[in-house]
Chains A and B, each alone.
Chain A
């Protein structure tokens, strides 16, 4: 920078707007900020509007069956369209049961893969593991469904039979692991587990990567082994994010349509026997919608409304539990 002439240095410096009037601001330069605020607000409102529109229009379409059946739409398990009886309980049960099976199978595996990829795997193996997992997420669900019905269901049937023979007399297990159908709640749960594992893995892995190094050092510094460090520093810190990942997986499992429709067996029944066929809300919608009319059609849309509500309730309650816990422990 060229040095200014001497008289400029000694002369009293004049600050433009030095009397403070500049602070009152013309506002012309803030147009970008206010534009951005409006665009962001609009985007946020669009999400809410879409959600509200879906809720409103599906409820309107389903209104005839809600009026006719009342509460028995969700408390009765008799679904006979020919007789005008629409009780959706068996489908609700099937959706929840198959999704729960999927979670029980997928969460430990997903966490295991995420922890392996982030904490335990040799550096050169980490990328390939992540890459393969992400690839799994890109397979269309109908492919999973076809694989389930053509390969998994016939192959797993003998396994079901031998398990139910083996534990038949054991009190609780014999009751749960009962039945011999290749297409069943269990098969649907397995297929769903495979489908939601990539999403749970990839989201939890990202959360685990955000655990501050200082937390890991704190645990190691106290003489923790790697597992003790994971249990005491990594998991508590990322618990909220992991639950979020599991919720997204659960949402995907409950809403999954075609793969479940192919492997669950399409038989509406409420039973604790996991190896018996069942049916789910999404599956019955896709199976019956083509030939449905009138109240039957309204009933199927009503199932969609119920599915929507169940998903929201599960999500909101899980988040509030986690939120309360994290707020308490992170203090402030």
Chain B
């Protein structure tokens, strides 16, 4: 198992460590989160803290609720009829599910990249300019588009065809375009829901490099099916699993363990985590 992630992860150890690396700021503080679809509890008892300028990975088997939890961070679950949450997700101290919070404002600060690349059937330029235009950032639009495309390592490939349709790009290029579209409004957080599951290994490697590049400016949460990917890119990892509800034959997801990625993959404290990361999934 590759464990070559950087060792700059501030651990839960006392703050009196010798090198005065300040503990990273907490962006999200999730407290006892439950997610329901109607009467069905899809995920229960999630508590974790997401730190600034880190990559946090959610891993676990299918149906464990990792995507459902991710979609709570930008209130995308609001779009699903009957979805509701209990518990709190504090974003810099403000509960995202406070009735006074406008989900549209949330999504302007917290961008999302989806499982399948979903560019609009518009030009490459208009795709990137979409967010800035919505946000009223009309000046220097050309510069914003160029910067976002450069950050997403796509500029050199598309700079001569900005007016051409984004649908003509390859799958990997489309996904980098979607990342560029998400970061063009300079959000604080980028959520990625299995961003590489539709891509080949080379395109996947480019996205992973890209995540490392932009990590210094953004806080990234990524859901992935691919354990190696979590081990390669993330600073912290949350392992989710499912349990069968005996009376209704449904499955509810739950958070098993959340720790630094090194620890999760080398010395997990829960047996279920160990079984999963060593491939002996039970």
Q: Does the CB pair B76–A222 fall under 8 Å?
A: no
Answer yes or no: B178 CB below 8 A from chain A CBs. yes
Check A331/B178 contact, CB under 8 A, given A215-B120, A220-B79: no
Answer yes or no: A236 CB below 8 A from chain B CBs. yes
List of A residues within 8 angstroms of B106 by Cβ: 223
Complex-state Cα separation, A35 to B81, whole angstroms: 47
Answer yes or no: A332 CB below 8 A from chain B CBs. yes
List of A residues within 8 angstroms of B166 by Cβ: 331
Q: Does the CB pair A223–B135 fall under 8 Å?
A: yes
Binds B, one of A23-31, A61-69, A149-157, A225-233: A225-233
Q: Does the CB pair B121–A236 fall under 8 Å?
A: yes
Complex-state Cα separation, A122 to B216, whole angstroms: 44
Q: Does the CB pair B135–A329 fall under 8 Å?
A: no
The residue of chain A having its C-beta at the shortest distance from the C-beta of B78 within the complex is A220
Q: Does the CB pair A217–B107 fall under 8 Å?
A: no
Answer yes or no: A237 CB below 8 A from chain B CBs. yes
Answer yes or no: B236 CB below 8 A from chain A CBs. no
Residues of B in contact, count (CB < 8 Å): 33
Check A221/B167 contact, CB under 8 A, given A232-B130, A329-B122: no
Complex-state Cα separation, A220 to B76, whole angstroms: 8
Complex-state Cα separation, A143 to B165, whole angstroms: 48
Per-position contact with A for B106-127: 1 when CB-CB < 8 Å, else 0? 1110011010101111110000
Complex-state Cα separation, A220 to B107, whole angstroms: 7
Answer yes or no: A324 CB below 8 A from chain B CBs. no
List of B residues within 8 angstroms of A221 by Cβ: 74, 76, 107, 111-112, 114, 182
Check A236/B76 contact, CB under 8 A, given A123-B81, A218-B114, A331-B164: no
Per-position contact with A for B191-214: 1 when CB-CB < 8 Å, else 0? 000000000000000000000000
List of A residues within 8 angstroms of B123 by Cβ: 329
List of B residues within 8 angstroms of A22 by Cβ: none
List of B residues within 8 angstroms of A326 by Cβ: 121
Check A224/B134 contact, CB under 8 A, given A218-B114, A237-B121: yes
Q: Does the CB pair B165–A218 fall under 8 Å?
A: no
Query: Could you tell me the distance in whole angstroms from the C-beta of B182 to the nearest C-beta in chain A?
Result: 7
Q: State which of A212, A217, A331 has its C-beta within 8 Å of the C-beta of B168.
A: A331
Complex-state Cα separation, A217 to B75, whole angstroms: 11
Q: Does the CB pair B114–A224 fall under 8 Å?
A: no
Q: Does the CB pair B76–A218 fall under 8 Å?
A: no
Complex-state Cα separation, A212 to B119, whole angstroms: 11
Complex-state Cα separation, A5 to B173, whole angstroms: 55
Q: State which of A212, A216, A223, A328 has its C-beta within 8 Å of the C-beta of B134.
A: A223
List of B residues within 8 angstroms of A219 by Cβ: 120, 130
Which residues on B are within 8 Å of A, measured CB to CB? Answer: 74, 76, 79, 81, 104-108, 111-112, 114, 116, 118-123, 130-131, 134-135, 164-169, 178, 181-182, 185
Which residues on A are within 8 Å of B, measured CB to CB? Answer: 123, 212, 214-225, 228, 232-233, 236-237, 326, 328-332
Report the 4 A-B pairs with minimum CB-CB distance, sorted nearest first: A331-B167, A331-B168, A223-B108, A331-B165
- Knowing that A212-B118, A214-B116, A217-B114 are A-B contacts, what are 14 other residue pairs whose CB atoms are under 8 Å apart, sorted by A's residue number? A217-B79, A219-B120, A221-B76, A221-B114, A221-B182, A222-B182, A222-B185, A223-B134, A223-B185, A224-B104, A224-B107, A237-B121, A328-B165, A332-B167
